């Protein structure tokens, strides 16, 4: 697989060969299982074919049970300077319920090892809205993050997807999930507690200590172009999206024989307009009206909705930029959908 990914990198070097690469992100699946020689080969191929900024943010996704002092040093030597750890929870009952491979002890120990080495910026994922998660226990989890001095937190509400085992259990009444009021209470509590501890909310689900924003994710939200390598990887050049095939077998066969291994979609101005709203309205940078107008002139209905939501104190407009208010954070999906052009 690594040879196939490196082959794709070689084949696509012409796409952005003159642009500096400011972020690299190893995600999807379990990249923390990559061997040292495999990481080395990927980095050598990237540096051979692209201009990598010496100060580039280089992130690797990992699970708590994958982390050891030895592997942290290997990642450091390879060039990894930021870790995104799928911690999810510090509570044993939550981790067991989610069928996670790690336990609560490993959740804490992995943070301690990363902080002790002191070379990686650390981001962790937390999940709220879990069954039987009282506010006092949620408070303990947030306080643990604060006490450890974690640089970055991504907090997501539990979602129940159709055609999953969880969906079936909920439908049959075997599991009672939290309601929207509980989820909102936990979310707002998280926002206030982290803010009081010096964290900045720079996106609806993302919080960081000063200067510790995810540069990679921020680029995505701002509509900056990116390339993705490997099965299922996505790419975006500003006007077109590209999707690699999901099948490992098909991907390897086609990338090695020079045959097509991806699909592409040309985005209409309306598509790009709506995507710009969807991604930027959730951030501290807001929706730039001049940027929207450069894509497509907004309709009168768009401006009417902006005025309507401003009167409801869900939005505010400052310096030709639309921002969500504190109340608006909870309505972000609805507001975005209402502002979309058709």
Paired tokens of 340: 């979309």
d(C-alpha 157, C-alpha 186), whole Å: 9
- Tell me the chain's radius of gyration from C-alpha atoms: 21
Percent above pLDDT 90 for the chain: 80
Paired tokens of 235: 């790419």
Mean per-residue pLDDT, 183-206? 96
Paired tokens of 253: 């066969």
Reported as a pLDDT band with limits 50, 70 and 90, residue 173 is confident
CATH fold label, 17-221: Transcription Regulator spoIIAA (3.30.750)
Note the pLDDT tens digit of each residue in 33-86: 899 999 999 999 999 999 999 999 999 999 998 999 999 999 999 999 999 999
Mean per-residue pLDDT, 261-285? 96
Note the pLDDT of residue 116. Answer: 92
d(C-alpha 279, C-alpha 228), whole Å: 18
Tell me if 236 sits within 8 A of 225, measured CB to CB: yes
4 Cα distance to chain centroid = 25
d(C-alpha 335, C-alpha 309), whole Å: 8
Range list for CATH 1.10.10.920 in the chain: 269-339
Note the pLDDT tens digit of each residue in 313-330: 999 999 999 999 989 998
Look at residue 177 and tell me whether its pLDDT is greater than 90: no
Mean per-residue pLDDT, 168-185? 80
Weakest mean pLDDT among 16-25, 199-208, 250-259, 295-304:
16-25
Note the pLDDT of residue 16. Answer: 74
Range list for CATH 3.30.750.200 in the chain: 17-221
Tell me if 114 sits within 8 A of 151, measured CB to CB: no
d(C-alpha 126, C-alpha 194), whole Å: 13
Q: Which of 223, 191, 189, 226 is CA-nearest to residue 206?
A: 191
32 vs 294, more confident: 294
Helical (H) or strand (E) element with 108:
helix 104-117
Reported as a pLDDT band with limits 50, 70 and 90, residue 101 is confident
Look at residue 279 and tell me whether its pLDDT is greater than 70: yes
Task: Say if strands 121-128 and 152-157 run parallel, antiparallel, or are unpaired.
Answer: parallel
Helix (H, G, I), strand (E, B) or coil at 224: coil
Tell me if 168 sits within 8 A of 139, measured CB to CB: no
Q: Which of the four CATH numbers 3.40.50.1370, 1.10.10.920, 3.20.20.70, 3.30.2130.10 does domain 269-339 have?
A: 1.10.10.920
Note the pLDDT of residue 141. Answer: 94
Mean per-residue pLDDT, 233-246? 95
Q: Which long-range contacts (CB under 8 A, 24 or more apart) does 106-114 make?
A: 106/64, 106/65, 107/64, 108/144, 109/64, 110/64, 110/65, 110/67, 110/85, 111/85, 111/87, 111/148, 111/150, 112/148, 113/67, 113/68, 113/69, 113/72, 114/67, 114/72, 114/83, 114/85
Residue 132's DSSP bridge partners are none
d(C-alpha 4, C-alpha 254), whole Å: 9
Note the pLDDT tens digit of each residue in 119-167: 789 999 999 998 889 999 999 999 999 999 999 999 999 887 776 776 6
Give the CA count within 13 Å in the CB-facing half-sphere of 337.
Answer: 4
Mean confidence (pLDDT) of the chain: 92
Q: How is the chain split among helix, strand and coil, in percent rounded to 5?
A: 45, 20, 35
Task: Say if strands 234-236 and 240-244 run parallel, antiparallel, or are unpaired.
Answer: antiparallel
Note the pLDDT of residue 201. Answer: 96
Expressed in angstroms, the distance from the first to the final Cα of the chain is 41
Reported as a pLDDT band with limits 50, 70 and 90, residue 180 is confident
Q: Give DSSP secondary structure letters for 36-55.
A: HHHHHHHHHHHHHHSEEEEE
Reported as a pLDDT band with limits 50, 70 and 90, residue 175 is confident
Note the pLDDT of residue 166. Answer: 67
């Amino acid at each position: 697989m690594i040879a196939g990914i490196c082959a794709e990198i070689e084949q696509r070097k012409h796409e952005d060969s003159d642009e500096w690469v400011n972020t690299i992100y190893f995600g999807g699946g379990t990249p923390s299982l990559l061997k040292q020689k495999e990481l080395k080969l990927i980095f050598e191929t990237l540096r051979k074919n692209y201009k990598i900024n010496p100060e580039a943010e280089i992130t690797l996704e990992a699970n708590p049970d994958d982390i050891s002092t030895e592997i942290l040093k290997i990642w450091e030597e390879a060039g990894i300077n930021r870790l995104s750890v799928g911690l999810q929870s510090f509570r044993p009952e939550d981790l067991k319920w989610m069928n996670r491979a790690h336990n609560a002890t490993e959740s804490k120990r992995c943070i301690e090892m990363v902080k002790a080495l002191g070379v990686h910026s650390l981001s962790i994922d937390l999940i709220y809205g879990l069954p039987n998660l009282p506010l006092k226990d949620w408070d303990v989890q947030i306080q643990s993050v604060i006490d450890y001095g974690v640089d970055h937190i991504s907090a997501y509400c539990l979602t129940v997807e159709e055609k999953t085992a969880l969906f079936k259990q909920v439908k049959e009444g075997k599991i009672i999930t939290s309601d929207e009021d509980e989820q909102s209470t936990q979310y707002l509590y998280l926002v206030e507690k982290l803010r009081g501890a010096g964290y900045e909310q720079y996106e609806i689900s993302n919080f960081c200590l000063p200067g510790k924003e995810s540069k990679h994710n921020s680029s995505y939200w701002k509509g900056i172009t990116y390339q993705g390598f490997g099965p299922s990887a996505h790419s975006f050049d500003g006007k077109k999206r590209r999707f690699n095939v999901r099948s490992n077998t098909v991907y390897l066969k086609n990338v090695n024989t020079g045959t097509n291994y991806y699909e592409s979609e040309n985005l209409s101005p309306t598509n790009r307009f709506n995507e710009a709203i969807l991604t930027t309205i959730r951030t501290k940078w807001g929706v730039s009206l001049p940027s929207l107008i450069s894509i497509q002139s907004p309709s009168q209905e768009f401006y009417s909705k902006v005025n309507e939501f401003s009167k409801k104190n869900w939005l505010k407009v400052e310096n030709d930029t639309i921002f969500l208010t504190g109340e608006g954070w909870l309505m972000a999906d609805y507001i975005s959908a209402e502002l979309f052009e058709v």
